A and B are shown apart, each in its own frame.
Chain A
Amino acid sequence: QKEVEQNSGPLSVPEGAIASLNCTYSDRVSQSFFWYRQYSGKSPELIMSIYSNGDKEDGRFTAQLNKASQYVSLLIRDSQPSDSATYLCAVRRRGYSTLTFGKGTMLLVSP
């Protein structure tokens, strides 16, 4: 069973702080990693993808990948109340088109 694990939360941070969301995966041949944001009652929206070890930055978001330790994280700098959502981690195994999703971490940013 290939698994993707996330802390369900909620993770509560004050406005302006850095939110750190973590994800671990069990399949060592995982190749591609994605973070989706899902507002309540809405569909997931892709916010970051990362394919190689290290950091990838896009605006206030930074994705970090460590394949040796099998974890991927998402940092949100200067968190805003509008960032309050559930963040889903997804992993693709090499040679496959499908993704395996974690159950998501709920983030709450208080004003």
Chain B
Amino acid sequence: DGGITQSPKYLFRKEGQNVTLSCEQNLNHDAMYWYRQDPGQGLRLIYYSQIVNDFQKGDIAEGYSVSREKKESFPLTVTSAQKNPTAFYLCASSIDAAGRGLSYNEQFFGPGTRLTVL
């Protein structure tokens, strides 16, 4: 079964704690992305990675960190420096269209992790 999995589905964090959200894909996609969605808001890009061992900051990277040690995995850590972390976190993947000079870049999403700070 090909797809993107995220875990956990729900996560509760106390003030001052770091938490790590998991994202795994078996679509053989090069690129992976992390987005944050707040109520009534669109998706905002946190970090993305086009290749293993390399990643780039998105629009709202402050207070977050990522790693890309394997092609299939792109975990996101929400650190205590993130002032307002309560949100719906979405992981996505795609082929690396820009890197391959392709015009299409369909991104597919995992089911998401809902993070709440207590």
Interface residues of A (CB under 8 A from B): 4, 8, 31-32, 34, 36, 42-46, 49, 51, 88, 90, 92, 95-99, 101-104
Contact = CB atoms under 8 A, between A and B. Distances in A.
Interface of B: 31, 33, 40-45, 48, 50, 58, 90, 94, 96-99, 103-112
Given A44-B109, A88-B42, 13 more contacts: A8-B40, A43-B110, A45-B109, A46-B108, A97-B31, A97-B94, A97-B98, A97-B99, A97-B105, A99-B45, A99-B105, A101-B44, A104-B42
Given A32-B105, A99-B107, A104-B42, A43 B112 contact: yes
Q: What 10 A-B pairs come out closest when comparing CB atoms?
A: A103-B42, A101-B42, A43-B109, A101-B43, A97-B98, A43-B112, A44-B109, A92-B105, A51-B103, A43-B111
A102 B112 contact: no
Given A32-B104, A44-B43, A95 B110 contact: no
Given A49-B104, A103-B42, A98 B48 contact: yes
A53 to B, nearest CB: 13
Nearest to B56: A98
A42 B44 CA distance: 16
A98 B44 CA distance: 11
B106 A102 contact: no
Given A31-B103, A97-B96, A103-B42, A42 B111 contact: yes
B42 A32 contact: no
A90 to B, nearest CB: 8
Contacts of B110: 43
Contacts of B90: 43-44
B96 to A, nearest CB: 6
A32 to B, nearest CB: 6
B113 to A, nearest CB: 10
Contacts of A51: 103-104
Contact of B50 (A32, A90, A97): A97
A45 to B, nearest CB: 7
